[in-house]
Structure 1
Amino acid sequence: MSVIYILLTISIIVAVIFFIAFILAVKNGQYDDSYTPSVRMLFEDELVKEKPNKSIQTKQD
């Protein structure tokens, strides 16, 4: 039974270490995307969907 307590304690310590490492990585800009903004203008036509113009009325006979 004492082995369960030891393993639980070790797993919590490891989880806290990984959480701290993740927080430090986010604060240091590890996950900042510096590539996408530079090429976003190349793909702008594909991302923007034009809304239908409701001011144009069609003639219905």
Structure 2
Amino acid sequence: MYVIFFMIGISLLLALGFLGAFFWSMRHGQNDDLYTPSIRMLLDDDLTTPAPVSEK
């Protein structure tokens, strides 16, 4: 019976930890823009020209 109370306590602490992490991420803007990072690799254009290869 004591194991059940222990597991309930651990699960409540774990749930409070995840809830705290969620509120921290919302407060610090971690989920402001979810669309742009997923398409960044498609929009990333490298405008620099490669250095010429010298022939010897």
TM score, norm. by length of structure 1? 0.54
Number of residue pairs aligned between Structure 1 and Structure 2? 35
2 CA distance for matches of 1:20 and 1:30?
A: 14
Q: Which has the larger radius of gyration?
A: 1
Name stretches of at least 5 consecutive residues in structure 1 with no aligned partner. Answer: 36-61
Aligned residues with identical type, % of pairs? 37
Name stretches of at least 5 consecutive residues in structure 2 with no aligned partner. Answer: 37-56
Cα RMSD, aligned residues only: 1.3
Deviation by residue 1:3-59 (Cα, 9 ceiling, x = unmatched): 000000000000000000000000000000173xxxxxxxxxxxxxxxxxxxxxxxx
TM score, norm. by length of structure 2? 0.59
